[in-house]
């Protein structure tokens, strides 16, 4: 009885009903071996008196355990722990903390932790930020989006509207995207060439998982997006680096590589190379497509911020001039509206899109149909197009202000080229500056920016990082540069 009193403690102020507290505690005692298989329990009246509970509470607890199969009732004899439980060894008394794991923190089973997945999550939350090149969500058409979302949520056939849909994504959004991409990027596609994803990362994962085999060779820029490289490594591919100069990846190196190895896929950000922001030159684009046809490799074109180009009309994507079906084209609304809205798209030949849609089904049955239809409505009504024109003007102004500030205030400490497009500046800092310490000092002054260490490799410390300007007003950019100058 003393053991019952010490092991069963009911908190009458807790939200969980007393009978469930009692049932859960007794269940844990059975699991831990303190109550053994076949052991007879106290009668409900006796246990109620012992714990200061109403007898009905104990009866409810016993009934719960009987229903779950932990206890059995024997007519005329009482209530027992069921006989068919495996034998449990109770924990010994004394200081056993060194041998006890917290199952909420540490698994009891082993698994392999892969180094290539160790990538810090970029979350700022600071008043000032020179981020990786994110949009300003304060400019997003949120009123129009919320109105469209409400309309799509409430109107129409609810069984169809709120039920399961096509694994390729909302047919409405795929139709509108096909029209939009044909008009703005020179593509020649229909909705059957479009797969809606949760963003570019999901498109990369589907391609890496569905089209690569372990041991395949993938070519990327020596300076490239770590998120893409992680996906290729996860698929078991071997990565081969291409030199990146002022005109993008050096395609001549790719040709030499193709003569030595079978290349399965080439990944690139042709419009504004990540992270350096340079555009892939026209002659290299043509040469790349010729090599893809000759050697049969896939071209994954990540066009993460095509809509933001500040000079003349931007070069058309590789996908617009692909005549052999070698290019998979990927983009998202992350840079258009906000990273919180996880809607992207993957464009390719119909048979590839159908294949990847089958794979997507076992990862994520479908996307957010309400959000996808809402974005389709905004595309159809021209809201997103107007938002892009407004954003383009604002981001061009911010780029100009920011680059002038960098030149006049920090020209002695860093070097950069004014980007023709995109949302960030590739800044190369003086080698005497410790980027990690600089970032930490700036953070204490409420300025966030990446220390750029992810762009380094074992042989080359670049001392460079991306400084995003689009998400800050001219006044905020002036404050940010002032903080950066002080900490330097």
Q: How far apart are CA 30 and CA 36, in angstroms?
A: 6
Do the domain assignments include residue 115?
no
| Residue 142 and residue 149 in contact, taking contact as beta carbons nearer than 8 Å | no
Q: Residues 265, 326: one domain?
A: yes
Name the strand (E) or helix (H) holding 22: helix 18-32
Q: Residues 209, 187: one domain?
A: yes
Do the domain assignments include residue 106?
no
Per-residue pLDDT of the chain (488 residues; tens, 9 = 90+): 566 777 888 888 889 999 999 999 999 888 888 888 889 999 999 999 988 899 999 999 999 999 999 999 998 889 999 988 776 666 665 555 555 678 788 888 888 888 877 776 666 677 899 998 899 989 999 899 899 889 888 887 777 777 778 889 999 999 999 999 999 999 999 999 999 998 899 999 999 999 999 999 999 998 888 889 999 999 999 999 999 998 989 999 999 999 999 999 999 998 888 899 888 888 999 999 999 999 999 999 998 888 888 887 778 899 999 999 999 999 988 888 888 788 899 999 999 999 999 999 888 877 788 889 999 999 999 999 999 999 999 999 999 999 999 999 999 999 999 998 889 999 999 999 999 999 999 999 999 999 888 888 767 788 999 999 999 999 999 999 999 999 99
Polymer length in residues for the chain: 488
Query: If you search the block for the tokens 């998202």, which residue do you land on?
Result: 332
Q: Residues 75, 212: one domain?
A: no
| Residue 141 and residue 383 in contact, taking contact as beta carbons nearer than 8 Å | yes
| Residue 308 and residue 359 in contact, taking contact as beta carbons nearer than 8 Å | no
Q: What's the count of helices (H) and strands (E) in the chain, helices before strands?
A: 16, 16
HSE-up (13 A, CA, CB side) for residue 104: 0
Q: Sheet holding 464-468: strands in order across?
A: 414-416, 424-429, 464-468
Number of structural domains (the chain) is 3
Domain boundary residue, one of 328, 361, 385:
385
CATH (domain of 28): 1.10.10.10
Q: In Å, how far are 150, 332, 371, 377 from 147, measured between CA atoms?
A: 5, 21, 11, 10
Residue 116's pLDDT is 75
Q: Residues 337, 457: one domain?
A: no
| Global pTM exceeds 0.95 | no
347: left (phi over 0), alpha (psi -120 to 50) or beta: beta
Angle at 206 between CA 202 and CA 212, to 5 degrees: 140
Domain boundary residue, one of 337, 358, 385:
385
Q: Residues 363, 432: one domain?
A: no
Q: Residues 316, 222: one domain?
A: yes
Owning domain of residue 26 = 2-87
Q: How far apart are CA 199 and CA 202, in angstroms?
A: 6
Do the domain assignments include residue 288?
yes
What is the per-residue DSSP string for 403-465?
HHHHHHHHTTTEEE---SBSSEEEEEE-TTS-HHHHHHHHHHTTEEE---GGG-BTTB---EE
Q: Residues 175, 228: one domain?
A: yes
Q: How far apart are CA 416 and CA 400, in angstroms?
A: 13
Q: Long-range contacts for 117-122 (Cβ within 8 Å, ≥24 apart)? A: 117/230, 117/234, 119/226, 119/227, 119/230, 119/454, 120/454, 122/450
Q: In Å, how far are 160, 181, 467 from 194, measured between CA atoms?
A: 21, 10, 32
**368 exposure class (CB count in 10 Å sphere: 0-12, 13-18, 19+):** middle
Q: Residues 16, 73: one domain?
A: yes
Instruction: Write the pLDDT tens digit of every residue in 160-195.
Output: 777 778 889 999 999 999 999 999 999 999 999 999
Q: Residues 302, 427: one domain?
A: no
Do the domain assignments include residue 67?
yes
CATH (domain of 350): 3.40.640.10
Residue 128's pLDDT is 92
Do the domain assignments include residue 104?
no
Q: Residues 43, 174: one domain?
A: no
Look at residues 160, 210, 180, 230 and name the one whose alpha carbon lies nearest to residue 357.
210
Do the domain assignments include residue 367?
yes
CATH (domain of 469): 3.90.1150.10
Q: Is 125 helix (H, G, I), strand (E, B) or coil?
A: coil
Q: How far apart are CA 21 and CA 230, in angstroms?
A: 46
Q: Residues 439, 454: one domain?
A: yes
Q: Residues 272, 228: one domain?
A: yes
Query: If you search the block for the tokens 């399961």, which residue do you land on?
Result: 164
Residue 241's pLDDT is 93
Look at residues 304, 280, 82 and name the one whose alpha carbon lies nearest to residue 204.
304
Instruction: Write the pLDDT tens digit of every residue in 426-484.
Output: 999 999 999 999 999 999 999 999 988 888 876 778 899 999 999 999 999 999 999 99
Do the domain assignments include residue 342?
yes
Do the domain assignments include residue 80?
yes
Torsion sign across C-alpha atoms 162, 167, 168, 171:
negative
């Amino acid at each position: 009885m003393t053991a019952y009193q010490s092991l069963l403690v009911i908190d009458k102020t807790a939200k969980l009903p007393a009978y469930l507290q009692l049932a859960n505690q007794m269940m844990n005692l059975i699991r831990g071996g303190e109550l053994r298989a076949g052991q007879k329990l106290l009668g409900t009246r006796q246990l109620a008196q012992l714990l200061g509970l109403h007898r009905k509470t104990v009866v409810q607890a016993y009934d719960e355990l009987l229903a779950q199969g932990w206890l059995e009732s024997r007519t005329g004899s009482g209530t027992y722990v069921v006989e068919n439980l495996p034998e449990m060894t109770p924990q010994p008394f004394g200081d056993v903390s060194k041998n006890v794991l917290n199952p909420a923190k540490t698994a009891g089973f082993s698994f392999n932790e892969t180094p290539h997945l160790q990538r810090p999550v970029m979350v700022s939350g600071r008043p000032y930020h020179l981020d990786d090149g994110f949009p300003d969500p304060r400019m997003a058409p949120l009123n129009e989006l919320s109105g469209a979302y409400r309309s799509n949520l409430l109107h129409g056939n609810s069984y169809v509207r709120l039920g399961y849909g096509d694994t390729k994504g909302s047919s409405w959004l795929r139709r509108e995207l096909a029209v939009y991409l044909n008009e703005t990027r020179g593509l020649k596609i229909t909705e059957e060439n479009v797969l809606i994803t949760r963003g570019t990362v999901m498109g990369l994962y589907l391609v890496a998982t569905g089209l690569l085999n372990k041991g395949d060779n993938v070519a990327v820029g020596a300076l490239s997006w770590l998120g893409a490289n992680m996906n290729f490594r996860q698929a078991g591919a071997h990565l081969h680096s291409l030199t990146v100069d002022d005109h993008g990846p050096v395609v001549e190196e790719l040709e030499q590589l193709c003569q030595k190895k079978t290349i399965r896929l080439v990944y690139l950000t042709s419009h504004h190379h990540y992270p350096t922001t340079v555009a892939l030159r026209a002659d290299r684009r043509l040469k790349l497509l010729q090599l893809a046809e000759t050697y049969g490799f896939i071209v994954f074109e990540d066009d993460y911020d095509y809509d933001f180009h500040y000079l003349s009309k931007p070069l058309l994507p590789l996908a617009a001039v692909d005549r052999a079906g070698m290019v998979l084209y990927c983009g998202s609304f992350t840079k258009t509206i906000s990273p919180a809205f996880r809607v992207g798209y993957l464009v390719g030949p119909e048979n590839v899109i159908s294949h990847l849609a089958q794979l997507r089904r076992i990862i994520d049955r479908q996307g957010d149909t309400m959000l996808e239809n809402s974005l389709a409505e905004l595309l159809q009504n021209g809201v997103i197009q107007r938002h892009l024109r407004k954003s383009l003007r604002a981001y061009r102004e911010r780029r100009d202000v920011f680059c002038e500030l960098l030149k006049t205030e920090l020209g002695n400490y860093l070097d950069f080229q004014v980007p023709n497009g995109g949302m960030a500046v590739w800044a190369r800092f003086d080698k005497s500056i410790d980027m990690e310490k600089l970032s930490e000092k700036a953070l204490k002054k409420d300025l966030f920016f990446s220390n750029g260490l992810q762009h380094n490799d074992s042989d080359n410390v670049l001392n460079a990082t991306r400084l995003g300007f689009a998400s800050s007003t001219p006044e905020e950019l002036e404050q940010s540069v002032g903080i950066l100058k002080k900490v330097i």
